[in-house]
Amino acid sequence: MSVPDERKPLTLPRLSDMQRRGEKISMLTAYDATFAAMADAAGVDCLLVGDSLGMVCQGLPSTVGVVLETMRYHTESVSRGLDRVQGKAWLIADLPFGSYQESREQALTSATVLMQAGAHMVKLEGGGWTTDTVRFLVERGIPVCAHLGLTPQTVHALGGYRVQGKGSEAAGLLRRDALALQDAGAAMLVLEMVPAALAADLTGELDRCITIGIGAGRGTDGQVLVLHDMLGINLGRMPKFVRNFMADAPGIAPALASYVRAVKDGSFPDDQLHAW
C-alpha cells in the first residue's frame, strides 16, 4: 500500500510563509520528467529548469547558446514528470539569453511560452535594467525570479565565472539592484557567487522577496544547486561551493533526500564551501 503524500503543492504564499518562519527552501535544477519526479518525491520544494541545460544536456560551452524553444521543450518535460506523480514542487523556468533583452513585449511573449509549457514562474538575469521588464511581467500575472551576482548569460562581459559583489562599491550596486527588483515585484531572487555576508545582509533587508543562494553562503532563505553537480556527474570543473551528495549515499533517491535534509537543517552549505 502506498503512503499518502501529505505535502501540499508549493505556491508563492506557502513559500513566503516558509521564508517568514525561517524554514529553508530547497531548490534543484531539473531538465527531464524522471529526475523531476524523483526530486519531487525527495521533497525538493522548487525545481528550476535552468538554462544550465545548455551545458548539462546540450554540451554547450556556456548558457549563451540556449534558445527559447529548447527551454520550452525541457519545461514541458519537467512539468509532465511532475503531473505524472502529482508533484508538489514550484516550477521555475529560465528565460534564455536573447529572449527578453530587447523589450518588455519580447519578454512577455517569451515568458508566455514557458508559462504555457507548465512553468509557475520565470527567471531572468540582470540588475537595474531589468526592473521595467520585471514590473511589466508581474503586472500581467507572471511571477518573476530575478538573478544577481554571477549571471552566467553575461559571462563574457564579466570576464569569467568570478565572485561578484566584492568591495563596497560592487556590494552597494548589488544591494540597490536587489531592492529595485523587489520594488518591481520580483518574488524571488537568486544570488550566485556573492560574498556570504552580503547575501545574508540582503536576505535580512528584503521582506517581500525570497533569496535563494548558490555559492552565496548559508544566510539566504534557500539554496539551489545544479542537479548533475550535486550528484557528482559534472562533465567540467566542479564549482568550489558544490557538495557531492552521492559520495555518501547508496543511490540517487537517498542523495536527493540528503540534499533536502542538509538545506533544511542548515548543514549545507558549510563555511568551507564558500570562503569568499
Q: What is d(CA 137, CA 159) in angstroms, rounded to the nearest whole number?
A: 30
Q: Which of 52, 99, 164, 258 binds ligand KIV (CB under 6 A)?
A: 52
Question: Cβ closer to ligand KIV: 174 or 224?
Answer: 224
Q: Is the CB of 15 or the CB of 226 nearer to ligand KIV?
A: 226
109's grid cell: 511573449
Beta strand 46-49 with 90-94 is parallel
Nearest to ligand KIV of 3, 72 (CB atom): 72
Give residues 12-31 in contact with ligand KIV (rule: CB under 6 A): 29
Least Cβ distance, residue 239 to ligand KIV (angstroms): 9
The yes or no reply on residue 149 touching ligand KIV (CB under 6 A) is no
Active site residues: 192
- CA-to-CA distance for 171 and 259, rounded, in angstroms? 29
Tell me if the bond preceding 13 is cis, omega within 30° of 0.
no
Binding to ligand KIV by CB under 6 A, coded x per residue (else -) over 165-184, reads --------------------
Q: CB under 6 A: which stretch of 30-38, 44-52, 136-144, 243-251 binds ligand KIV?
A: 44-52
CB closer to ligand KIV out of 43 and 149: 149
**Closest approach of ligand KIV to the CB of residue 28, in Å:** 9
- At residue 19, the 3 state secondary structure works out as helix
Question: Quick one: cell of 141?
Answer: 500575472
CA 195 to chain CA centroid, Å, is 18
Nearest residue (beta carbon) to ligand KIV: 50
As a 3-state breakdown, the chain gives helix, strand, coil percent values, each rounded to 5, of: 45, 15, 40
Residue 94 binding ligand KIV, by CB under 6 A: yes
Residue 18 or 146: the one with the smaller Cβ distance to ligand KIV is 146
DSSP, collapsed to helix, strand or coil, labels residue 13 as helix
Instruction: Name the nearest CA neighbour of 45 among 4, 90, 98, 86.
Output: 90
Q: Are 197 and 173 in contact (CB under 8 A)?
A: no
Residues 209-248 that bind ligand KIV (CB under 6 A): 214, 224, 226
Of 40, 45, 51, 177, the one binding ligand KIV (CB under 6 A) is 51
For position 151 contacting ligand KIV by CB under 6 A, the verdict is no
> Minimum Å distance from CB 50 to ligand KIV?
2
Residue whose C-alpha is closest to residue 69's, from 93, 102, 34: 93
104 to 57, 119, 131: CA distances (angstroms): 29, 19, 10
Rule CB under 6 A: which residues touch ligand KIV? 29, 48, 50-52, 94, 190, 192, 214, 224, 226
